[in-house]
Amino acid sequence: MISIALATYNGELYVSELLNSISDQTTLPDELIISDDSSTDSTLEIVNEFARNATFPVKILINKEQLGSTGNFEVAIGACSGDIIFLCDQDDIWYQHKIERMLECLVNNPSAGAVFSDADVADEDLNILGSSLWKRKKITPKELAEISTREGAFKMATKRNIVTGATMAFRAEYRENIVPIPKEWVHDYWITLIISMSSELIPLPTALILYRQHGSQQIGAPGTSLNKIINGSKDEGKSFHAIYSPKVKAFQKVLALLIESSVSNTAEGKQRIALVTDIITFYRARSSIPKSRWKRLPIIWKEFIAFRYQRYRKPRHAIKDLIHSVD
């Protein structure tokens, strides 16, 4: 059974096109779950009209108070009853074979916990901008190869997220550990991290959606001047504690899940527990970096010579921590 988890909020400009593209799929979903985050425009009227005419069941949930993007997706995911859950953004366009291709991939790879595809990046009028989502995220063939193996997926995911939620479908059996999603984390990164603990993720090297960029979206593709304006300085002025303590808490939850898992006493499980423990040490150290730049040096140097910057981020992040401005 196929479920689509769609999170909406003030999406009146684009949601009709998205819904029509779902109706045009060569393989239709068994249900569409829409969680609306207290929209104040005509989004609810549009989705209710769609639900009345859809050829598949549509369930509409309305949050009494705004939860934000991550919380809104958590509600939608939690209400899905299918074996496979597709994540869906309100402003994209799905190509006709998206569900068919991704479902086929999961059927042919029973050990895979999720599948994700590339996307064509477009402007608000759906003019393709010339480079794919993977190119804009600077995803390398090595990273794609690593995340598609059970041995490499978790290590890859702990370093950075290469999976965009709008291009992703995952098996519902992982939901028990995915929900609740830490509110400080982007939902797709958390889902990727949890699934990679025990499974590989399969990359489909083809664009299966038009990924629309516009000024009012909460999350966009990197590499565009618009996105840099919107998201480029999101941590500017924040304390190191505010930036990194959420990562400490999230990886502590991952550590607890690993310790409780059936593989905790295996060689693989012990390696992953050691890896996450080391990551927690890294982010805890970064969260303790003081405002004074001179006083930062001992902490940053200690993490650098321990090769934790090199393993879990990139060496240049040590420089970023040193020069970061705190209000």
User: Token match 């664009």: residue?
Assistant: 207
Phi and psi at residue 114, to the nearest 5°: -160, 165
Paired tokens of 268: 């693989």
Q: Are residues 304 and 264 part of one domain? A: yes
Paired tokens of 227: 């996105």
* Tens-place pLDDT, residues 55-99: 999 999 999 999 999 999 999 999 999 999 999 999 999 999 999
* Tens-place pLDDT, residues 115-173: 999 999 999 888 888 889 999 999 999 999 999 998 889 989 988 899 999 999 999 99
Q: Are residues 204 and 258 part of one domain? A: no
Q: How confident is the model at residue 230 (pLDDT cuts 50, 70, 90)?
A: very low
CATH code of 26's domain: 3.90.550.10
* Tens-place pLDDT, residues 15-36: 999 999 999 999 999 999 999 9
Phi and psi at residue 219, to the nearest 5°: -135, 135
* Domain final residue pick, 231, 251, 284: 231
Which pLDDT score, from 0 to 100, does residue 243 have? 92
**Helices 267-287 + 293-305 axis angle, to 10:** 170
Radius of gyration of the chain (CA): 20
What's the CA gap between 228 and 170, in Å, rounded?
29
Q: Are residues 263 and 213 part of one domain? A: no
pLDDT at position 298 over 90: yes
Q: Are residues 244 and 227 part of one domain? A: no
pTM of the model: 0.88
Q: What amino acid occupies position 325? A: S
Q: Are residues 226 and 281 part of one domain? A: no
Q: Are residues 274 and 197 part of one domain? A: no
3-class secondary structure, 111: coil
* Domain final residue pick, 189, 212, 231: 231
CA distances from 308 to 111, 147, 283, 291, 298 (A): 31, 20, 9, 21, 14
Domain count within the chain? 2
Which pLDDT score, from 0 to 100, does residue 131 have? 84
By residue range, what is the domain housing residue 201?
Answer: 2-231
* Domain final residue pick, 214, 231, 248: 231
Q: Are residues 92 and 212 part of one domain? A: yes
Q: Are residues 166 and 132 part of one domain? A: yes
Query: Is the Cβ–Cβ distance between 321 and 286 less than 8 Å?
Result: yes
Query: Is the Cβ–Cβ distance between 116 and 168 less than 8 Å?
Result: yes
Q: How confident is the model at residue 251 (pLDDT cuts 50, 70, 90)?
A: very high
Q: How confident is the model at residue 215 (pLDDT cuts 50, 70, 90)?
A: low
Which pLDDT score, from 0 to 100, does residue 224 have? 41
